[in-house]
């Protein structure tokens, strides 16, 4: 069998001669594709190859609302937590988990937790010592609203997909014609995204989004599905400085990257770095764009780690590890080099004994040591 190793990364300037220390971290929404990706990155950072040039190893506490979340069983221990919609209870449970496990950092694994955790971050850090790995609240409020994102990018002179609110629909259609993209101002993962080819389909899209409780936005259609990129940018938590960036040309299935091509893509990376800095980010940012005639036109920003971060980590850019070392350990980070790779995704399974699962469902006690993933592919 061919043995493929992740790229080496020796771009952290900490004191590697000191004894190995364990750093407990909490990953929320462990059953989401984002949470699972963060767990993969942290476990990759714990590999023997990385430890040779590192002084830390991560102890991963995986947390989720549900006992049927696969990632809940793939950390060093698992915790059942409250929903972020009940912010007071959510905070109390997080505080308890952080204190019991001496958590150094909290990695949000879902979009729904970004704003609540940003609002709670100062309290959490003061009462538990845990650093919440999230961008500043103003940056989150801009990036989670596609219209305010568009306004910011236009005001900074950055290339992006032209957009319009429904009340200016007539003028927008006259300027760009059909097809056009219609989607909610807030949302992620291609949820409620429509391609309107005519006025009838436009009406249907606007009505569907409104009936589901959303506010629609209309966006110009950017051709070239083979020229779509997802770019991860990490901005220092201490200063306005890009610590890493990596672009992947991608193919989508159900709104998620399932084939990724890590190439040079220099124009895309530089454009995305400017976007992250314009946003005043202080942490991870994921930028979606299409490359048209050498110009990277941005159509969405996610102010968090990407679900495809483990593909980037294997290539050499481990974003959760970079952010932890920057924001928690205060290490000096040098921009990492990375390998050109192709990442091909597929379904896989986590197995848990029925008794273990039933016990977790009834008592909230999660035995992660009982789970396993067979090496059968």
Can you give the pTM of this predicted structure?
0.92
The answer to whether the beta carbons of residues 327 and 133 sit under 8 Å apart is: yes
**Can you tell me the distance from the alpha carbon of 111 to that of 188, in angstroms, rounded to the nearest whole number?**
8
For the chain, which domains are there?
Answer: 12-134+349-370 (3.40.50.20), 162-220 (3.30.1490.20)
Question: Could you tell me the CA-to-CA distances from 322 to 103, 141, 183, 242, 290 in Å, in that order?
Answer: 17, 24, 33, 11, 26
Mean pLDDT by 10 residues, the chain (377 residues): 47 53 96 97 84 80 96 95 94 97 98 96 97 97 96 97 97 97 84 92 97 95 92 96 96 90 93 98 97 95 96 96 97 92 94 94 89 93
**Can you tell me the distance from the alpha carbon of 269 to that of 40, in angstroms, rounded to the nearest whole number?**
24
**Can you tell me the distance from the alpha carbon of 320 to that of 323, in angstroms, rounded to the nearest whole number?**
5
Residue 310: the pLDDT is 97
**Can you tell me the distance from the alpha carbon of 312 to that of 287, in angstroms, rounded to the nearest whole number?**
14
Residue 191: the pLDDT is 73
Residue 50: the pLDDT is 62
Residue 19: the pLDDT is 63
Residue 52: the pLDDT is 57
Residue 16: the pLDDT is 44
Local structure of 251: helix, strand or coil: strand
**Can you tell me the distance from the alpha carbon of 140 to that of 118, in angstroms, rounded to the nearest whole number?**
8
């Amino acid at each position: 069998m061919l043995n493929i190793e992740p790229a080496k990364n020796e771009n952290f300037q900490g004191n590697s001669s000191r004894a190995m220390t364990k750093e407990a971290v909490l990953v929320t929404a462990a059953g989401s594709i984002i949470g699972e990706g963060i767990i993969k990155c942290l476990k990759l950072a714990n590999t023997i190859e990385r430890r040779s040039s590192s002084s830390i190893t991560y102890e991963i506490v995986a947390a989720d609302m549900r006992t049927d979340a696969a990632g809940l069983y793939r950390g060093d221990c698992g915790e059942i937590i409250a929903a972020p919609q009940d912010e007071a209870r959510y905070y109390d449970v997080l505080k308890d988990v952080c204190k019991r496990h001496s958590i150094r950092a909290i990695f949000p694994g879902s979009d729904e937790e970004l704003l609540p955790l940003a609002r709670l971050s100062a309290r959490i850090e003061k009462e538990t010592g845990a650093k919440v790995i999230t961008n500043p609240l103003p940056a989150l409020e801009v990036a989670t609203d596609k219209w305010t994102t568009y306004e910011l990018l236009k005001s900074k002179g950055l290339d992006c997909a032209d957009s319009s609110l429904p009340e200016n629909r007539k003028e927008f259609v006259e300027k760009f014609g059909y097809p056009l993209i219609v989607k909610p101002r807030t949302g992620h993962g291609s949820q409620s995204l429509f391609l309107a080819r005519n006025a009838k389909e436009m009406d249907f899209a606007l009505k569907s989004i409104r009936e589901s409780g959303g506010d629609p936005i209309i966006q110009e259609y950017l051709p070239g599905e083979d020229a779509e990129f997802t770019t991860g940018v990490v901005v220092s938590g201490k200063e306005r400085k890009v610590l890493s960036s990596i672009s992947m040309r991608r193919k989508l299935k159900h709104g998620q990257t399932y084939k990724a091509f890590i190439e040079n893509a220099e124009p895309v990376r530089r454009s995305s770095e400017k976007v992250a800095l314009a946003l005043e980010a202080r942490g991870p940012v994921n930028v979606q764009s299409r490359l048209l005639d050498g110009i990277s036109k941005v159509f969405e920003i996610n102010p968090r780690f990407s679900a495809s971060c483990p593909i980037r980590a294997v290539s050499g850019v481990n974003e959760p590890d970079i952010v932890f070392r920057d924001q928690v350990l205060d290490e000096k980070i040098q921009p990492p080099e990375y390998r050109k790779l192709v990442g091909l995704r597929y379904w896989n399974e986590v197995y848990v004994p029925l008794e273990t699962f039933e016990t977790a469902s009834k008592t909230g006690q999660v035995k992660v040591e009982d789970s396993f993933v067979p090496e059968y592919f």
